[in-house]
Amino acid sequence: MEGQQADRAFMARALALAEAGRGRASPNPMVGALLVKEGRIVGEGFHARAGAPHAEVMALDAVGDAARGATLYVSLEPCCHHGRTPPCVPRIVASGVRRVVAATVDPNPQVNGRGLGLLREAGVAAEVGVLEGEAVRLNEVFFTYMTDGRPFVTLKAAVSLDGKIATVTGESRWITGEEARRRVHEMRNEVDAILVGIGTILRDDPLLTTRLGIPGERDPVRVVVDTLARLPLDARVLDPLSAAPTLVAVGPEAPAERVVQLREAGATVLVLAQSGERISLAAVMRALAAREITSVLIEGGAAVHASALAEGIVDKVAFFVAPLLIGGTTAPGAVGGPGIEKLADAVPLREVRITPLGRDLLVEGYVQGPLGSHPCSRV
């Protein structure tokens, strides 16, 4: 194997190594690196969590002096700034690595091409662009967070074949089967935060934790959008026995004594601006980004889904579709709100992926813009 083909194969390995940081590296990117000499991998590394060594450093540590003359493959441009850890570029230069192949430039404004430039100035051959599309997709969360300064948002729902999320009486447990529900917990295990509206809490009193039963699983921060601070003090999301932090986003008109009570119950309460009758979800996202929350899973209900789509904050949709017909004109669909008049204003999904999970289907796709005003919706 030679040249470009070898570069692609080694970069594919770097991307696979990066996966080990999924759900743990945040707010940092997932990064994988390997050192190759005479066509053989001599050392590997990945970024395990923020504060841990960067992938390149882990790979260099693994090989010591043998790095001299090697090629370093890394799924993201090596950094040149002091963060929680020292910069990688001087370490790479000192190691005697002769060539660096990066999949993509680091969108972090402190790096953003400078790392590659410094390598070249130091006489190291530095290339970028091998499996770039895959590398950007792998770190779609980090790229969104760095480029737009907001978390990457996934809207998740479990629906019947006729698009309902509950019966006319509100019963919703369970529309989907065990495999689909397990996948939801895998998603929770990978995101920084999970967000629901107060209606979902009042109706279902969910715990909103990760319950996979595997070692090292982690609960996301729980975010409740609760304009009037109605969250009951005995809600399960406030149970002191569940260690996951709970953040309640309330509007300026929330009663002050309720805000105090919620804080005393252990919640972090954020008082945010309203857009119309409801808190602006874009403002919620800005507040979350300021807390280094890079990814959010929205899990209901229909009104929050509608607001999120109308505000244009949704990046990706993940609907679990069950082979079940619920019916009922007043039974809620997955997306509530005022709706739209023209089909042309509907939200089309891009790059749709359909995965069977037991008897259910997981339908995923990327959202192109806000509900009701999308410029591409006529295509």
Which listed residue (79, 80, 198, 285) binds ligand AOF by CB under 6 A? 79
Q: Which is nearer to ligand AOF, 52 or 271 (CB)?
A: 52
Sequence-distant (≥ 6) Cβ neighbours of residue 40 within 8 angstroms: none
* Residue range at the interface with ligand AOF (CB under 6 A); choices 54-62, 92-100, 247-255, 322-330: 54-62
Write out the two tokens for 359: 């008897």
Residue 268, interface with ligand AOF (CB under 6 A)?
no
The CA distances from residue 357 to 302, 321, 322, 350, in Å, are: 23, 10, 10, 21
Pairing of strands 360-367, 349-357: antiparallel
Closer residue to Zn ion in complex, CB, 96/206 = 96
* In the complex, least distance from residue 294 CB atom to Zn ion, rounded to whole angstroms: 17
| Residues in 58-117 that interact with Zn ion by CB under 5 A | 79, 88
CA–CA distance, 174 with 322 (Å, rounded to integer): 10
- Is 135 near ligand AOF (CB under 6 A)? no
The pair of structure tokens assigned to 339 is: 């709706």
Residues 6+ apart with CB under 8 A from 14: 32, 33, 34, 55, 73, 74, 75, 103
48 vs 244 by CB, closer to ligand AOF: 48
- Residue selected from 108, 189, 209, 295 as contacting ligand AOF according to rule CB under 6 A: 108
For Zn ion, which residue of 26, 34, 45, 54 counts as binding (CB under 5 A)? 54
> Which string of x and - marks every residue 81-100 that binds ligand AOF (by CB under 6 A)?
--xxx--x------------
Nearer to Zn ion, 47 or 258 (CB): 47
| Closer residue to ligand AOF in complex, CB, 141/208 | 141
Minimum CB distance to Zn ion, residue 32 (Å): 13
- 83 interface partner picked from ligand AOF, Zn ion, none, CB below 5 to 8 A per type: ligand AOF
For residue 159, what are the CA distances in angstroms to 152, 167, 197, 301, 349?
22, 11, 17, 12, 17
Cα separation, 222 vs 208, in Å, equals 7
Query: Whose structure tokens read 């230069």?
Result: 93
- Cβ atoms of 161 and 324 within 8 Å: the answer is yes
Task: Clarify whether 121 is annotated catalytic.
Answer: no
Residue (79 or 313) nearer to ligand AOF, CB = 79
Work out what residue 43 binds among Zn ion, ligand AOF, none; the CB cut-off runs from 5 to 8 Å by kind.
Answer: none
Phi/psi at 237 (5° precision): -70, -15
**In the complex, least distance from residue 38 CB atom to ligand AOF, rounded to whole angstroms:** 24
Q: Which of 44, 56, 190, 311 is catalytic?
A: 56
Tokens 């739209």 identify what position?
Answer: 340
| DSSP structure string for 317-332 | EEEEEES-----TTS-
Q: Is residue 29 a contact point for ligand AOF (CB under 6 A)?
A: yes
- In whole angstroms, the minimum distance from the beta carbon of 62 to ligand AOF comes to 14
Q: How far apart are CA 311 and CA 291, in angstroms?
A: 21
Residues known to be catalytic: 56
Residues forming the site for ligand AOF (CB under 6 A): 28-29, 31, 47, 50, 54-56, 76, 78-79, 83-85, 88, 106, 108, 111
